[in-house]
Structure 1
Amino acid sequence: MAKTSAHQKNRSYTNVVYATPVSEHPSLDEVYEVTPFSEAFWTYLNYVILNIFGWFRDLLRNARIENRKGSAENNPPGFVPLYQSYESFYTRNVYQRIADCFNRPIGSVPGATLDLLERVTDDYNWSFRFTGGKVKTINLASYNYLGFANNSGPIVESVINSIKTSGLTAASTTQEFGTLTQHRKLESLLAEYLGTEDAIAFGMGFATNALNIPTLVGKGCLILSDELNHASLVLGARLSGAVIKVYKHNDMNHLERLLRESIVSGQPRTHRMWKKILIIVEGVYSMEGSLCKLPELIELKKKYRAYLYLDEAHSIGAMGLRGRGVVDYWKCDVNDVDILMGTFTKSFAAAGGYIAGKKDLIDHIRVTSHSTAYATSMSPPVVEQIVSVLNLLLDNDEEHEGRRRINQLAWNTRYFRQRLTKMGFIVYGHPHSPVVPALLYSPSKIAAFNREMLKRGVAVVTVGFPATPLVLGRVRFCLSASHTKEMLDEVLKHAEEVGDLLNMRKSKLNPKRPFHETES
């Protein structure tokens, strides 16, 4: 395994050589290269073989020739099965063989580098034994966009001090006794940072979507949702009781066609006018690395008198010259977006989520949201972490830490994407997105790429079906402001080695070039 240098092992954020700001060109298009026929063929063949062997092994288990090592449901006589056996087919026959790639516990802060706990298995990943050792890796697997995931420094000291004065929890809901002065301070700073009238914070990012969309729309309303929206948005839409129509990812023509047809035909059966129409999109799509087409969305929502719900979980702090998300990136008016949602789990290295917008909207959510009525309010130390980060990001001085981190992330993103593309990898997403998916296709390559990179001291996330389409398995590099150029160069060098080993560098738009020739 390649070893990281002593500088990389012991570096702190102050070791970063900050890059100059990267100018943004919103007109740059996203390119999605067609899957090579050979890769599609071998990927489908892989899954066919996996299914054949899976069914055969299930037959052996049912005949008690092979021991069933997974969980099995034993129903009382006369009871139907609680779950369908095919639902766990993938887990039984595929996932457990590659689980060591995806579920690795870490023993350090998930910063620019991290320590993975060493473990071994004697039963094909059904169980593990930890050896007590650690593997030092460069971390391209965490959503630590601005590099605030630290366990030392002024912010950490401030968080620790907040525990001494405010404790660990408010032990109550927001609507009862859980709203502290720190929560109000956070929401005030957040509204100032986003440029909105008001904002409200919640203790969990997933629940921010799932439990608040139903407070905005209900029966008689229509939701138009991008097909790649996060599960939290999908769940919130379903819980609302509104009619849901899904449009093709970032296809504004399809969205407009659905808008026009829905307005003309009205509600099902009654054909009455819709009470409300809500368009739900994400700023940066975490699996594709793509950006929503915000200017066109705003134009459509104004044209058809619809509302726009923008999830900035992966874009707040990570996009725009001031780090204020895709609204900042596209240089749109924040007042043209009706509901601004985001999370604190990525760029802020904390927990929870928020919704921002007009004061009337936020007042309505405070009173009607299930999150404010039933969930414990955000922990005071978490609030302090977010407030400390917001104070840095609100400082517009180019020489100060907040802006330097934003500029460093932008530089790292452009540099890494350009080098990876020039090396011949098929890379998806927007040129300025810090989420960088490179296509692997075959399930065998998905597992192999993860293991080979780990052998070389690089931690990455690899993803396959059902999280992606069947033939679009990928590695997803997540860039951070805490990565140095030397770290990125080391990752790129190892990616070249593994890419050649697995025959991954198949781009027809960018014929593969050696790593040393890709310097821009």
Structure 2
Amino acid sequence: MSTKQNMLDKVGSFCVCKIKDVRNGSGNTIMQILIYNNNGLGLYSRPFIESFEETPMLVAVLTYMGYGILTIFGYLRDFLRDWKIERCHVAREREEQRDFVPLYQDFENFYTRNLYMRIRDSWNRPICSVPGAKVDLVERVSPDYNWTFDYTGKVVEGVINMGSYNYLGFAENTGYCADASAEVTMKYGVGVASTRQEMGNLDRHEEMEELVAKFLGVESAMAFGMGFATNSMNIPALTGKGCLILSDELNHASLVLGARLSGSTIRVFKHNNMQSLEKMLRDAIVHGQPRTHRPWKKILILVEGIYSMEGSIVRLPEVIALKKRYRAYLYLDEAHSIGALGPGGRGVVDYFGLDPRDVDVMMGTFTKSFGAAGGYIGGRKELLEYLRSHSHSAVYAASMSPPVVEQIIASMKCIMGEDGTTLGRDRVQQLAENTLYFRRRLTEMGFIIYGNNDSPVVPMMLYMPAKIGAFGREMLKRNIGVVVVGFPATPIIESRARFCISAAHTKDIKKSLS
């Protein structure tokens, strides 16, 4: 028997997945996943339930027909623009550049020119209030089909905010967090005007990182001024040539960019599909690097806690089991799950009751549940000491603003109960209740929704291109602000409205939605 076959025997499949199709009260199908290891022991303390429903055939056909018609008329309008019959508003190459590789004209740009500009009137409006449960939107009109906007000077007040990531309602201008930030602003100012490694390291930065490490249950943590840069600038510091990155196909653009900048070999596995991930891990160990077949220097698995377009929660217990079996490293992006999941609001690790030490790199952002800005990385002390000197985001980026740092400290202490109240715990509980209520009501009304039952990100499928803008406009007429999403942010036939639930939403708001 060959060495490769011996290795395959040693790293055989570690679990059995039993999938049950369960019909709920409204007739929609949900998927109940029960995971067992080879000893028959469950990896999950409770059934892992996700909403799942295939696109109806008629809807799929009509959606393709709609995009087909859009494509035909889009190319006709591009023909008119080329002949100067219709004005072209988008950036284009100069005549002398036409023989080279086009900079702007691609399929995504085709979609932007011919559909996106028709629907962006229904969202992405300027907000002139605190982004709380209700917001005030600036009213605007467009004389040229949404290429430009004129503001009327009027404000639409009291629009129910179903589009922001203010999961715990900390994005507010009154209360404990706002008062603490205002006090720090008077003492430290609003900016540091330096990097952390020069003259921009404040005592508040040190306190914040110690608090983040305590909150996550890890040895050390480090904060960065931008969540996107936390991924895109730190992954290249962790992997490089000769390393392999296994990335979920629905990972955020920041993870994708960071993986590409690292110079590592990238392989993409199917979304939340452990069989696909395990097959890639087995192949990576057995075959090694291309051509040379040398072992990979490092294998890094990239996943998210909650996927922001799907509303699905990573199957973390299985990912960790695979990571341990194949001796890979795990990078967990908790941008949407930190603060929003788990009995203590500590994210997907807390949600599944796992040991934080089993995750090698814990990443998250402060822009959502904490109502602030920036991101963090937590893990072993040696890892963070390495990043402090090797991460471009740490060496070259300006320090975080003092009031933003104080907002993080205050909101995190509130969630942990260190402010002397139960406000943070109550908000975590309220978010969970609001999420379950909203998902249940949409399902009862017959809508097709995606994602895990406990995910505050709720995608509601629209499918057809004509519905994208129409749904957003009709909701706004009813004083409900939602985000509608289509290609290229989603697959071309899976356009959707994405609702983001908040602890700030009340029963009165829920009644208006039902």
Structure 1 length normalisation: TM-score? Answer: 0.88
Task: Give the Cα separation in 2 of the matches to 1:294 and 1:359.
Answer: 23
Map 1:275-424 to 2 at 5 A. 275-395=297-417, 400-424=422-446
CA contact (8 A) 2:248 2:272 kept: yes
Q: Could you tell me which of 105, 114, 129 is aligned with 2:135? A: 114
Deviation string 1:76-113 (CA, Å, 9 cap, x unpaired) is: 47873651423522222211111212321111111000
- The answer to whether the aligner puts 1:128 opposite 2:143 as a matched pair is no
Q: Partner residue of 1:265?
A: 287
Map 1:32-431 to 2 at 5 A. 32-76=52-96, 80=100, 83-87=103-107, 88-136=109-157, 137-395=159-417, 400-431=422-453
Task: Give the Cα separation in 1 of the matches to 2:321 and 2:441.
Answer: 35
Q: Partner residue of 1:500?
A: none
The amino acid across from 2:446 in the alignment is G
Greater mean alpha carbon deviation, residues 395-404 or residues 422-431: 395-404
CA contact (8 A) 1:32 1:429 kept: yes
Task: Give the Cα separation in 1 of the matches to 2:184 and 2:63.
Answer: 52
The amino acid across from 1:275 in the alignment is K
CA contact (8 A) 1:350 1:385 kept: yes
Secondary structure class of the residue paired with 1:114: strand
Shift in Å, 1:75: 4.2
| Structure 1 unaligned regions, length at least 5 | 1-23, 494-520
Shift in Å, 1:441: 0.4
- The answer to whether the aligner puts 1:29 opposite 2:62 as a matched pair is no
Q: Partner residue of 1:514?
A: none
Task: Give the Cα separation in 1 of the matches to 2:326 and 2:396.
Answer: 36
Task: Give the Cα separation in 2 of the matches to 1:406 and 1:86.
Answer: 43
Task: Give the Cα separation in 1 of the matches to 2:104 and 2:409.
Answer: 46
Shift in Å, 1:203: 0.2
CA contact (8 A) 2:45 2:352 kept: no
The amino acid across from 2:467 in the alignment is K
Shift in Å, 1:485: 1.4
Secondary structure class of the residue paired with 2:48: coil
Q: Partner residue of 1:503?
A: none
Q: Name the count of aligned residue pairs.
A: 469
Task: Give the Cα separation in 2 of the matches to 1:112 and 1:283.
Answer: 24
The amino acid across from 1:138 in the alignment is I
Shift in Å, 1:423: 1.1
CA contact (8 A) 2:190 2:403 kept: yes
Q: Partner residue of 1:19?
A: none
Secondary structure class of the residue paired with 2:49: coil
Task: Give the Cα separation in 2 of the matches to 1:418 and 1:399.
Answer: 31
Task: Give the Cα separation in 2 of the matches to 1:398 and 1:266.
Answer: 54
Structure with bigger strand share is 2
RMSD value over aligned CA atoms? 1.6
Task: Give the Cα separation in 2 of the matches to 1:48 and 1:320.
Answer: 44
Greater mean alpha carbon deviation, residues 135-144 or residues 152-161: 152-161
Deviation string 1:371-396 (CA, Å, 9 cap, x unpaired) is: 11111011111000000011111118
| Structure 2 unaligned regions, length at least 5 | 1-43
Secondary structure class of the residue paired with 1:85: coil
Structure 2 length normalisation: TM-score? Answer: 0.89
Q: Percent identity?
A: 58
Task: Give the Cα separation in 2 of the matches to 1:307 and 1:149.
Answer: 34
The amino acid across from 1:112 in the alignment is A
Deviation string 1:263-300 (CA, Å, 9 cap, x unpaired) is: 10001111101111111100000000000011101100
Secondary structure class of the residue paired with 1:296: helix
CA contact (8 A) 2:414 2:421 kept: no
